[in-house]
């Protein structure tokens, strides 16, 4: 079963459409039930949208991904 931390863990793959179908289903099921994760996904997408870099994935370097993940994890309640 998907937990909030799993959403954080898989958000990059979700945005990049790289998740396998089972993982994708679990993630969407969780975000459907969890307002925090729903907001998290929306915020993340909007952030990429605003910067206009969604199409240019090279923008999201491993360093940025790492920092984003730390930032986002700090916003989620501890498991």
CB of 66 to Zn ion, least distance (A): 21
Please tell me what DSSP assigns to residue 51. Answer: T
Per-residue string for binding with Zn ion, 40-79, x by CB under 5 A? Answer: ----------------------------------------
Residue 41 near residue 28 (C-beta atoms within 8 A)? no
Residue 8 is a binding residue for Zn ion (CB under 5 A): no
18 versus 33: smaller Cβ distance to Zn ion: 33
**Taking Cα atoms as reference points, which of 7, 48, 45, 46 lies closest to residue 25?**
7
Based on the shown chain and the rule CB under 5 A, indicate whether residue 15 belongs to the binding site for Zn ion. no
Per CB under 5 A, residues contacting Zn ion are: 4, 34, 37
């Amino acid at each position: 079963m998907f937990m909030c931390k799993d959403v954080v863990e898989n958000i990059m793959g979700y945005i990049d459409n790289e998740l396998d179908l089972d993982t994708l289903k679990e993630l969407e099921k969780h975000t459907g039930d969890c307002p925090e994760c729903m907001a998290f996904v929306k915020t993340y997408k909007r952030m990429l949208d605003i910067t206009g870099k969604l199409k240019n994935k090279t923008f999201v370097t491993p360093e940025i991904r790492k920092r984003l993940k730390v930032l986002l994890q700090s916003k989620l309640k501890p498991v």
